[in-house]
Structure formats: C-alpha cells, structure tokens
C-alpha cells in the first residue's frame, strides 16, 4: 500500500500547490483599456475588478452610450488579460506534473 499512500500524498501536494497558485492570482493585476485610454479598468488575474477610471471628457450626458460601450470594452479587455495571466501562472504550476493530454486543473 505504500504506492497508494505516495499517490495520495502527491495528490495532496498538488492540491496545496494549486490552492497557493489560485491565491496568488488575486495579487497579479492587469489593466484593460478602451477608447484610446479614455476608460481604464484594473483587475486581478482572478477577474476581480479593482478600479475603473473614466476620463472627464466623457462625463457629458450626450456621451452616455459611448461611455457605457467603452466601460464594457475595457472590462472585456481586462478580463481577457486576467485570463491570460491566470493561464500563464497555472501552467507554471502544472509544468512539472505529468498529466494526461487535455487534463485541466482545477478539477
């Protein structure tokens, strides 16, 4: 049964490392922008929105629709960058593991 115990210990180590990597994602920040930098969104690699910045020139009632579109675009840009940062960090963590092709963590 030593082999089974070794496998269980390895699984627990992988789970601990995965949790550590997941926790670390919240400390990595990315910036999403839209409208040539008129709208900026700061997010964590975990996808948590930290801040939104809107240039004063957009704060006019006639610009409402454009501001809404730019905020959505900046959020999507930040989310894409957060996903990329998350994938990079998680692949660093799993690079030493011998996982079957197509197997993804977390479970």
Q: Predicted confidence band at 107 (pLDDT cuts at 50, 70, 90)? A: very low
Q: Residue 82 is part of which domain span?
A: 2-94
pLDDT in tens, 17-73: 778 877 788 888 999 999 999 999 999 888 888 999 999 998 999 989 999 999 999
Q: Is residue 100 part of a domain?
A: no
Q: Is residue 52 part of a domain?
A: yes
Q: Is residue 40 part of a domain?
A: yes
Number of folded domains that form the chain: 1
Q: Is residue 46 part of a domain?
A: yes
Q: What is the pTM of this model?
A: 0.63
pLDDT in tens, 82-91: 888 888 887 7
Report whether pLDDT(96) > 80: no
Please tell me the predicted confidence (pLDDT) of residue 32: 92
Q: Is residue 44 part of a domain?
A: yes
Please tell me the predicted confidence (pLDDT) of residue 74: 92
* Alpha-carbon distance values, 17 to 13, 83, 94, 107 (Å): 6, 19, 9, 13
- The CATH number for 64's domain is 3.30.1310.10
């Amino acid at each position: 049964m030593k082999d089974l115990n070794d496998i269980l210990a390895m699984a627990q180590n992988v789970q601990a490392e995965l949790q550590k990597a997941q926790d670390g994602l919240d400390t990595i920040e990315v910036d999403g922008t839209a409208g040539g930098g008129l709208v900026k969104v700061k997010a964590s690699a975990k996808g948590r929105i930290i801040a939104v910045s809107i240039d004063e020139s957009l704060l006019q009632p006639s610009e409402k629709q454009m501001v809404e579109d730019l905020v959505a675009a900046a959020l999507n840009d930040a989310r894409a960058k957060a996903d990329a940062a998350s994938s990079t960090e998680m692949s660093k963590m799993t690079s030493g593991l011998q996982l079957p092709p197509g197997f993804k963590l977390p479970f």
